[in-house]
Structure 1
Amino acid sequence: MGNDNVAEVPAPFTTYHEAVNWINGLLPFGIRPGLSRMEMMMEQLGQPQKRLKFIHVAGTNGKGSTCAFLTKVLLQAGYSVGTFTSPYITKFTNRFQYNGEDIPEETLLNLTNTLRPVVEKIAQTDQGSPTMFEVSTAIAILYYAKVCVPDIVVWETGLGGRLDVTNIVTPVVSVITNVGLDHTDILGDTLSLIAAEKVGIIKRGVPVVSCADQPEVVEILKATADRNNSTLYLAGEKFTYERVKFEESVQTFHFMGPFRSMDIEVELKGEHQIANAAGAMMVLEVLRQYMAYVIDDEDLLKGFRDTVWAGRLEEVVNHPRIIVDGAHNPEGAESLAKSIPQYYKYRSLNLMMGMLANKHHESYLKHILPLVDTLILTEPDFRKKMDANGLLEVVERLQPNYAKPTLQIIVEPDWRIALENLKLRTEEEDLGVVSGTLYLIADVRGSLLNQSDSEKGW
């Protein structure tokens, strides 16, 4: 008897690299908004996400830092914590952390082999193949639900909120850090449209924390929270924060919430980190007050103080002094432009930047150009990169009104050569800054720190 019509079962992957290559090979399927493929995967796996507690974090900027604060404080308080973030800075396994450690390569390989037949079965349906981001999210859920089972998972959205694949979970608290113009090609090009996507993570009866402050965004937040019967903890209303001291590399801010007030210190640089820390603090207060989480003041303060986050105003080397910062949208550029003179003394500022093709580069450059003495335009090593000469055209258009008359511009598409240029030009009293897309930041950081196994991406 022949078995011609039995589908071939693919041989399991035998190495971590095979597994990661297969996941990354799903990239051409793009980011296809919608949860239907995710729902099919979870159904076939027995709904593992329902066994876990999540803090779901969305927002335009500050998601990563907010996740870092929450993870550090909860770990310090003795809880086991899963942290799912994107894009990663050095290695694919960075996205799936348990108690601050990456998923072991062997575990990732095993979970990929578990998931692959499910993915290939869905690919045969009219839904088409699950995307790279959907498969990564499913791996995270399997890892946390079946392998390490943390007390809580800090769960960062990939894009938007409403249709983002991470929205397959029902969290214990939702966070919307802020709303600005980013991914406008997918999410819409006004604050109201983007806010409408972000508030999609608000679930019925689940409290939500936000530091958003634009009137049109606040209006959408309030209406959505009301409709879902969710308590909204909004900065400026239910809680407030202000920086009271800044010395050496420590910022102190005063947090006033519905339950208590206290002074908190953070070492992450930049005023915007105070908003991120205050939002994280409000989340922790909700956990403490309503969900019986035990977090001693001593652990809380130590957790905030000890939080570090790669690629955000991070001084990677000091001879020459080079900082890297993943500011890639107007709000990020505004924070960076404010923070540099506050934190650094320098004679000349040399800035190297590379961008993706889908961003608002004009408003980014308006914030940053006035500070710059030498501008090195390069390209990230990524398929959606912005051509360096295209970036030059934008700079030349803005130059008369925004740049110093003495601004020097270098166009060098190869980021490795551009980085050598930056090092050579940055003398003892100068400051070198590498900014732009995290795809560039990941490569530059890996190169400066001599990390040979640096991978990068979504």
Structure 2
Amino acid sequence: MSIDRAPNSRIKRMNYREAIAHLNSFINFERLPEPRFNTQIRDLDRFRELLDELGNPQSLYPIIHIAGTKGKGSTAAMISSILRAAGYRTGLYTSPHLVTVRERIRVDGRIIPKAEFASLIDYIGKTSTSSYPSNHPTYRTVFEYLTAAALLWFARKRVDFAVVEAGLGGKLDATVVVDPLLTVMTPIGLDHTTVLGGSVSAIAADKAHKIKSDVPAVAARQSAEARSQLVRRAGEVGTELTFAPGHTEFEPLSSGLHHQSFFAPRRSLGNDAIHLNLAGRFQLDNTSTVLTSIGKLVEAGFPVAPRAVQRGLSRVRLQGRMQLVRRKPSLVLDGSHNPMSIEALLESLSGLIGNRSLHVIFSAMRSKPAGRMLELLSSVAANFYIAPISFPKGMTNGELRSEAEHLHLPHVICTDIPSAFDRACLEARSNGLILATGSLYLAGEVIRHLRGLPPPYLDGRIDDRI
């Protein structure tokens, strides 16, 4: 089969709802328990067969591959925004989604339209490899299907670059099949420990498989355990690994709940201040990684002018990461879902709360250390509004209540996220600050509520309404 869909009006094609129903027929580990990775569960050879039948779309444009534990979405969004400002047609593939599955796949900042999404799913579904018996499908997960769809769409749209965010893990994650121009490793910490291992060293060793021979790699500042594994992997495959300096390379000028400005003493950026359209000091660490990555692209022969860097950072948009979505009372959405991210969030909020009371809407997935996250948040929170997210792997009200009571936290148990949001707004009044955190799925439910959209399906299947 070719990259471009061959027209044939006599063949019935899926509409959007049918395409979503087809996707929902595959295994979705985002809503089901995740088995520990092994070659029986994740056999990427068959996924490569699928891409081969599709014409290997991932080989038709340069790819920046982004992996890690924390900051992947922010790093991907910033690199994509800078490349677009430099005049490159840029594809962006991220996960998970907050509202619609289509937001995972973008070209030049625009999410894929319903008709084109359905066309891709239909086209992939008609490959000969998809006709294998049910016990031998070419791809068995929703993530693999979406990855194939994104790579194919980028080829159809003739992108100059694709920024691809990794999924879960390293050597058996579907995105590892790409041969990137550059690999970027964001900070690695404890997350998905039941799947990837119970130590930072074990998780870093798995994620380090994204580093490939003859592909330069950039890494954010890392713990000693993670750094050691990345250095070892780079040595094994014989490739260059550059560590970004981190936030200490910048001179902060101003910061708020929706932006920050700083001076970056890099000769390639000139002497102008940088205005970043993202809040949080942790974003300075991500920015350092981004600037180091852009420098590598320039070295590889892809021009990016200083003005494009400045424009890209000032225009970057990202939902659910320390995102100010309304005022009076101020509402901040942040998808932090592990202690490492919560600590970074609190460090950023420390100078912005002032004398305002902080009201925290909280929920979490059952696999996450909710008790530790609540304990960290309790150092600044005046009250907690706890409710279950509409997702099969989310904690129940009983489980959330147990964690809150064990820590003797002031809390209100609510039936659902919209109720928790309304109660927090009532009690925070105009001078309070509301923080919704603990899960990206929680952030997504708040966004749905604010937009008047229906809540997600309780069984976690992909929503065919939006």
* TM-score with structure 2 setting the length: 0.88
Match of 1:138 in 2: 148
In percent, how many aligned pairs have the same letter?
28
| Shift in Å, 1:65 | 0.6
Among 36, 44, 50, the residue aligned to 2:59: 50
Between the aligned partners of 1:242 and 1:360, the Cα distance in structure 2 is: 33
- 1:373 is paired with a residue of what secondary structure? strand
Q: Is the 8 A contact 1:317 1:448 kept in 2?
A: no
- How has the CA–CA distance of structure 1 residues 424 and 240 changed in structure 2, closer, same or farther, with 3 Å as cutoff? closer
- Residue pairs, 1:52-451, within 5 angstroms: 52-118=61-127, 120-124=130-134, 126=136, 130-145=140-155, 147-236=156-245, 241-248=249-256, 250-255=259-264, 264-289=274-299, 291-399=300-408, 407-451=409-453
- 1:315 is paired with a residue of what secondary structure? strand
Q: Is the 8 A contact 1:240 1:257 kept in 2?
A: no
| Shift in Å, 1:294 | 1.5
| Shift in Å, 1:257 | 6.5
Stretch deviating more after TM superposition (372-381 or 21-30): 21-30
Between the aligned partners of 2:143 and 2:310, the Cα distance in structure 1 is: 34
| Shift in Å, 1:254 | 4.9
Q: Tell me the alpha carbon deviations over residues 171-209 of structure 1, each in whole angstroms, 9 at most, x when there is no partner.
A: 000001110111112111100111011111111110111
Q: Tell me the alpha carbon deviations over residues 32-89 of structure 1, each in whole angstroms, 9 at most, x when there is no partner.
A: 4341331121122232222221000001111111011011111011000000001112
- 2:154 is paired with a residue of what secondary structure? helix
Q: Tell me the alpha carbon deviations over residues 131-182 of structure 1, each in whole angstroms, 9 at most, x when there is no partner.
A: 111101011111112x102000000011122211011101000001110111
Letter of the 1:176 counterpart: M
Q: Tell me the alpha carbon deviations over residues 293-337 of structure 1, each in whole angstroms, 9 at most, x when there is no partner.
A: 111111111111221211111121213322111111111111221
Between the aligned partners of 1:37 and 1:189, the Cα distance in structure 2 is: 29
- How has the CA–CA distance of structure 1 residues 451 and 126 changed in structure 2, closer, same or farther, with 3 Å as cutoff? closer
Q: Is the 8 A contact 1:350 1:432 kept in 2?
A: yes
Q: Is the 8 A contact 2:14 2:122 kept in 1?
A: no
Between the aligned partners of 1:257 and 1:170, the Cα distance in structure 2 is: 29
- 2:49 is paired with a residue of what secondary structure? helix
Match of 2:38 in 1: none
* Unaligned runs of at least 5 residues, structure 1: 1-10, 400-406
- 1:343 is paired with a residue of what secondary structure? coil
Number of equivalences: 438
Between the aligned partners of 1:85 and 1:210, the Cα distance in structure 2 is: 19
- How has the CA–CA distance of structure 1 residues 259 and 420 changed in structure 2, closer, same or farther, with 3 Å as cutoff? closer
Q: Tell me the alpha carbon deviations over residues 372-398 of structure 1, each in whole angstroms, 9 at most, x when there is no partner.
A: 111111111111111122122222333
| Shift in Å, 1:361 | 1.7
Q: Is the 8 A contact 1:172 1:206 kept in 2?
A: yes
- How has the CA–CA distance of structure 1 residues 12 and 366 changed in structure 2, closer, same or farther, with 3 Å as cutoff? farther
- 1:245 is paired with a residue of what secondary structure? strand
Match of 1:23 in 2: 23
- How has the CA–CA distance of structure 1 residues 451 and 277 changed in structure 2, closer, same or farther, with 3 Å as cutoff? farther
Stretch deviating more after TM superposition (409-418 or 73-82): 409-418
Letter of the 1:103 counterpart: I
Q: Is the 8 A contact 1:254 1:261 kept in 2?
A: no
Between the aligned partners of 1:140 and 1:453, the Cα distance in structure 2 is: 26
Between the aligned partners of 1:126 and 1:159, the Cα distance in structure 2 is: 22
Letter of the 2:21 counterpart: N
Letter of the 1:246 counterpart: S
Between the aligned partners of 2:180 and 2:364, the Cα distance in structure 1 is: 33
Stretch deviating more after TM superposition (150-159 or 438-447): 438-447
- 2:387 is paired with a residue of what secondary structure? strand
* TM-score with structure 1 setting the length: 0.89
Letter of the 1:90 counterpart: V
- 2:320 is paired with a residue of what secondary structure? coil
Q: Is the 8 A contact 2:24 2:461 kept in 1?
A: no
Between the aligned partners of 1:299 and 1:228, the Cα distance in structure 2 is: 33
Q: Is the 8 A contact 2:57 2:151 kept in 1?
A: yes
Stretch deviating more after TM superposition (255-264 or 331-340): 255-264
| Shift in Å, 1:416 | 2.1
Q: Is the 8 A contact 2:82 2:313 kept in 1?
A: yes
RMSD: 2.5
